[in-house]
Structure 1
Amino acid sequence: MNTSADAPAAIPPELQCYAALDKRLLAAVRGINILSTVSWPASLEDRMIEEYGRGQYALPEVSYKVPDFSDVRKELQAIEAEASDGDPLGEYLRRTAESWRIAAEMLEAVGTEGVTAPSIQLYGRPGDSIPGSDRSNLDAAKYFVELSDELGADLQDDDITANIPSDVLRADLSTALDSFFGAGVISVEVDNDLTAKAAAGATRIRLRGGMRFSQYDRYQLLNHEAYVHSLTALNGRAQPLLASLARTSPRVTATQEGLAVFAELMSGAIDIARLKRISLRILAIDMALNGADFVEVYRFFNRCGQSVGDSFHSAQRVFRGVPLTGGSAFAKDNVYLSGLLDVHTFFRWALKERRMDLLRYLFAGKLTLQDVMNLEPHFLSGALVAPRWLPPWMQHVHGLAGKLAFSLFINRIRMSKVEAETLSAGV
């Protein structure tokens, strides 16, 4: 289902300079593909998983093709300089170009410890503090892992089985997406070389071949990949002024992934095991930064209950593009939990301030939370257009407001002051 939106007006003459810079930006970064540059060959993973299953724990030998982005970095620096004029559009372009430049520097260091610092600059580190709290992302990760472990015995009776073949899920998702976006707008494909369970672009969602998925996986893929990643890309493509809003720049990764996990939360598509998986990756990044090598991180995941294959894939995510001997890490997986916490806080703030309009703008393209507020004048003027599509849970504003209003009030209750006796006391 889509929301109604007026046809976009022509770009005003005074904004043409930003549209021109945006075109230059997109042309410059066309060849920057972060995940494909740091990914491992599927054949290597398959062979190593088999060896690890037999207890043969040698460090994988991974080689990377090192790109040369020297000309790209010069162009991005020029865009940064030209965009620095104080207008919110210029600030958006400057920050976006800067993040792509940092990503280019990171990829030129692929295979070395030089990847670590720029990846932390882009995605944060586990010890970063949570806005509005004296706790860190690492504290939150430990909390969810401990809670999941404590509830483990009670959760074993849940009937969660991975029995849906990738081909069956592909057909099922295709039907659902044709109904929501229109026939053929988004295709669903099975990709035997995909490392992750799934990956989403504007018009294509890929599923890892040979996988079996659960109903939870189905709900997560719809709400995370389709109704956030693909949806914001499609809405971004409809922007006449900033075409770059259709592409996930490094600086928006935390908001995009946080919004996608928040969508799982609001739609009831997330479970405690999913929160544990996200949190374990943050603990693993912290381990790697503090000296743990690939085998040690693999064994950590395996001890925490993941299968041999899942443990290997989880460790691989931490060591993409960096040496496997410890002290280095690829920090992208830090954003899933930190982004979720930031997005959840933003939604609660917007409700408190009666600014539901800002929440809708968040789906108009690939934006950070700060972008949404900074660019509000250009949404109001029509230079940036409202989103055509909104996720199903965002279309029912009263239900969303009810959930957020409850969480706003309930957070005032201090659990440290709650005793079992007070809960069971009669009138």
Structure 2
Amino acid sequence: MIEQALLDQTRVLSDRLISLQTPIRILDAINWDRSIKEEFMRHKAQKNPDISAAYYHQRELGFNPTELRQAFSDLQRDIVRQLGQLSPITQFMSKMCREYRDVIRMLEARGTTEFHNLSVELFGHPRDVFHAGEPSLSELAVMLQQPLANLLAADVLPEENRDVPAPEAVARLKQQLDISMAGVGVQVMISDGIVSDAAAGSDRIKLNQDVMFSQRELDILEAHEGWVHVGTTQNGLAQPYLTCLSKGTPSATVTQEGLAVLTEIITLKSTPRRLAKLVQRILAVTQAIDGAEFVDVYRLCLEQGMTPDESYTLAQRVFRGSTPTGLPFTKDLAYIKGFVLVYNLIRVAIQLGRIDRLPLLLVGKLSIDEFRLVSELHDLGVISAPQFVPPHFKDLRGLATWLSFGRFIGGLSFEQLENDYRPLFI
């Protein structure tokens, strides 16, 4: 166990890290104003939005980049000086400091190629492979695209009607969360300042005032935004020493989104259209890297059956922080990339008989490559078990059984199975 004096120092240093991170708002710094969309639609979607590096320079970051980078460097030196270079606590917090310095550099580079390059360092590239000799992320997206397209074209699984206006959606989602996250006190409110349908904060979920919701979508938001994003934030804040677990670095964002998507799927809340949207994000980022401009990505989304509003929103997500003819912001790779990473971690944990470790994914916001460190720090008494645990993680027997059987089935040749079973459907 670690001496109490060092634990107390850890808490002070961790709180400093939270304080330094607080003014950094990546999406606020790169999102486009509503007027950009209005102008784009007025021109019948025939020309790229008027966005340049100068557009971003007119917007204040809310902090002095040079001073904040230096403050993170000073904090990292203090962590090493007070806790020791080889301490697992030092390793964990030093990585956070380094990533936040990279985030600051990325925001300084808005509207330039360097913005894209730094986003790739932080969130990844669509042509990255998970393991040597295996498909890249973009190749996996293409593999998923066809079966999803077949499902959607057949229309045998129609989407529920989006007939719940935002004010009523707020009331419904709040009621659901009061039951499934009793005692956490999650707030739900309307917002007019978000690009997506919904977004989670530390203790609240914001719903886009201009969006109509279906009950299925509210169920997805309950699991994705509530159980995972708000739940892990609150678990991080409840940590006795490493309170910085409540703040997610870009690498932690990948794991967070992956865990959230996995939660949607294993609780049977997700839909083919939802998964198709996540796949389309990867394809859109890949297209932009290959030279597609904003209008090209917008039109490609229309060809995939998306509405003009949906197509604009996705194209904007890809090019925010960049320019309409520049290289993309790669954060939207996080959903499927993170899903694969988390899913494989769980499969290996089951294979090794260490499923008891899996709740540690919920202690706060961490990345997959930090899981060993988090486990070590838990055993040392630095990190406590998560206070809020979603329903599907409270009893892991069902999850373990499902994934164990899935590993067996995954060993069979799908090509042969398809050949043998195809005649049954003709």
Q: What is the TM-score of this pair, normalised by structure 2?
A: 0.91
> Could you say which residue in structure 2 is the equivalent of 1:410?
409
> Could you say which residue in structure 2 is the equivalent of 1:245?
245
Identity %: 29
Which has the higher mean CA deviation after the structures are superposed, 95-104 or 184-193? Answer: 184-193
After superposition, the CA RMSD in angstroms is 2.2
Q: CA deviation at 1:66?
A: 5.2
Specify whether residues 342 and 26 from structure 1 end up closer, same or farther in structure 2 by C-alpha distance, changes over 3 A only: same
Give 3-state SS (helix, strand or coil) of 1:22's partner: helix
> Could you say which residue in structure 1 is the equivalent of 2:359?
360
Contact 2:2/2:380, CA 8 A, preserved across alignment: no
Kindly report which structure 2 residues correspond to 1:202-213, keeping only aligned pairs within 5 A, or say none.
Answer: 202-213=202-213
Q: CA deviation at 1:111?
A: 2.3
**What amino acid maps onto 1:292 in structure 2?**
A
Q: CA deviation at 1:154?
A: 2.3
1:70 to 66, 70, 75: 66
Q: In the alignment, does 2:17 pair up with 1:18?
A: no
Q: In the alignment, does 2:80 pair up with 1:80?
A: no
Specify whether residues 421 and 261 from structure 1 end up closer, same or farther in structure 2 by C-alpha distance, changes over 3 A only: closer
**What amino acid maps onto 1:15 in structure 2?**
L
Residues 354-395 of structure 1: CA distance to partner in whole angstroms, max 9, x if unpaired? 112221011011111232222223212332110011111112
Q: CA deviation at 1:184?
A: 7.3
> Could you say which residue in structure 1 is the equivalent of 2:378?
379
- The alignment covers a number of residue pairs equal to 414
> Could you say which residue in structure 1 is the equivalent of 2:27?
35
Q: Distance in 2 between matches of 1:243 and 1:267?
A: 29
> Could you say which residue in structure 1 is the equivalent of 2:345?
346
> Could you say which residue in structure 1 is the equivalent of 2:131?
131
**What amino acid maps onto 2:387 in structure 1?**
R
Residues 286-335 of structure 1: CA distance to partner in whole angstroms, max 9, x if unpaired? 11122211111111111111100010000000011111113x11110011
Q: CA deviation at 1:159?
A: 4.8
Q: Distance in 1 between matches of 2:311 and 2:422?
A: 41
> Could you say which residue in structure 1 is the equivalent of 2:257?
257
Q: CA deviation at 1:163?
A: 1.2
Residues 251-307 of structure 1: CA distance to partner in whole angstroms, max 9, x if unpaired? 201000110101111111111211211111111111112221111111111111110
**What amino acid maps onto 1:25 in structure 2?**
L
Contact 2:285/2:330, CA 8 A, preserved across alignment: yes
Residues 96-149 of structure 1: CA distance to partner in whole angstroms, max 9, x if unpaired? 111111000000112222210110000000000023761100011111212211
Q: CA deviation at 1:423?
A: 8.4
Kindly report which structure 2 residues correspond to 1:266-305, keeping only aligned pairs within 5 A, or say none.
Answer: 266-305=266-305
Which has the higher mean CA deviation after the structures are superposed, 390-399 or 256-265? Answer: 390-399
> Could you say which residue in structure 1 is the equivalent of 2:47?
57
Q: Distance in 2 between matches of 1:154 and 1:394?
A: 34
Q: Distance in 2 between matches of 1:424 and 1:314?
A: 39
Q: Distance in 2 between matches of 1:254 and 1:152?
A: 27
Kindly report which structure 2 residues correspond to 1:149-164, keeping only aligned pairs within 5 A, or say none.
Answer: 149-156=149-156, 158-164=158-164
**What amino acid maps onto 2:274 in structure 1?**
R
Give 3-state SS (helix, strand or coil) of 1:207's partner: strand
Q: Distance in 2 between matches of 1:78 and 1:373?
A: 26
> Could you say which residue in structure 1 is the equivalent of 2:319?
319
> Could you say which residue in structure 1 is the equivalent of 2:171?
171
Q: Distance in 2 between matches of 1:164 and 1:11?
A: 54
Contact 2:200/2:226, CA 8 A, preserved across alignment: yes
Specify whether residues 230 and 40 from structure 1 end up closer, same or farther in structure 2 by C-alpha distance, changes over 3 A only: same
Q: What is the TM-score of this pair, normalised by structure 1?
A: 0.91
Q: Distance in 1 between matches of 2:32 and 2:283?
A: 22
Which has the higher mean CA deviation after the structures are superposed, 227-236 or 411-420? Answer: 411-420
Which has the higher mean CA deviation after the structures are superposed, 414-423 or 207-216? Answer: 414-423
Contact 1:66/1:110, CA 8 A, preserved across alignment: no
Residues 58-82 of structure 1: CA distance to partner in whole angstroms, max 9, x if unpaired? 4344622254310111121233344
**What amino acid maps onto 1:372 in structure 2?**
F
Q: CA deviation at 1:234?
A: 0.6
Q: Distance in 2 between matches of 1:287 and 1:92?
A: 35
Which has the higher mean CA deviation after the structures are superposed, 350-359 or 222-231? Answer: 350-359
Residues 202-221 of structure 1: CA distance to partner in whole angstroms, max 9, x if unpaired? 21100000211123211210
Which has the higher mean CA deviation after the structures are superposed, 373-382 or 279-288? Answer: 373-382
Contact 1:258/1:336, CA 8 A, preserved across alignment: yes
Structure 1 gap segments, 5+ residues each: 1-8
> Could you say which residue in structure 1 is the equivalent of 2:102?
102
Q: CA deviation at 1:424?
A: 7.9
Q: Distance in 1 between matches of 2:360 and 2:197?
A: 29
Specify whether residues 117 and 422 from structure 1 end up closer, same or farther in structure 2 by C-alpha distance, changes over 3 A only: closer
Q: Distance in 2 between matches of 1:118 and 1:55?
A: 29
